[in-house]
Amino acid sequence: MYEIEIKILDIDREKVEEKLFSLGARKIFDEEIHAIYYDSADNAIRKDRKTFRLRKEGKRSVLTFKCYIENTKAKVREEKEVEVADFGIMRSILESAGFSMWLEMKKHRTTYECEGIHFEIDKYHDKYDYIPEFLEIEGTNIEKIYKYVELLGFQKDDCRPWDAIQVAEYYLKRMQSY
């Protein structure tokens, strides 16, 4: 499966949610997420611009492998995902197999869905709590994503094709310039 997503930073959550409800979106998730990113000892996964992640989404745990696909408009990844029965046991298996954690992130996510498009409002915790809430819009068609960008009152120029690390780096630089 391919995922296409953009991020819109510095949002007014209340206004975004009002517009989502007016468009007929329904809330489908509102819980904590704990993500652990893994790599091999030689960092081959990251060197190849791939992602290997174990994530606990509320009560559900998912192991995901993503391959980077070049695109300047959006973050595009080929994604393979499987639900696992136990987050802790899967974590132990990965570490026993020689994979090591290189990044751990925790956040609260609220997800809305409308016409197959997901709208996710994320607020990071712990060492990434300096990142303000932002909106991620995900779907399988960039033009449909842009349609909703405009319906929500944003413009294409507001869209960032960034991953979480790039968002964190952006806000760190912004904080350091003050």
The CATH number given to whatever domain includes residue 79 is 2.40.320.10
Question: For the chain, what is the total number of helices (H) and then of strands (E)?
Answer: 5, 9
One-letter amino acid at 5 equals: E
**Predicted TM-score (pTM) above 0.75:** yes
Domain count, the chain: 1
Domain that holds residue 108: 2-176
With residue 94 as reference, give the H or E element that holds it: helix 87-96
Query: Would you write out the chain's pLDDT as a tens digit for each of its 178 residues?
Result: 789 999 999 999 999 999 999 999 999 999 999 999 999 999 999 999 999 999 999 999 999 999 999 888 899 999 999 999 999 999 999 999 999 999 999 999 999 999 999 999 999 999 999 999 999 999 999 999 999 999 999 999 999 999 999 999 999 998 887 7
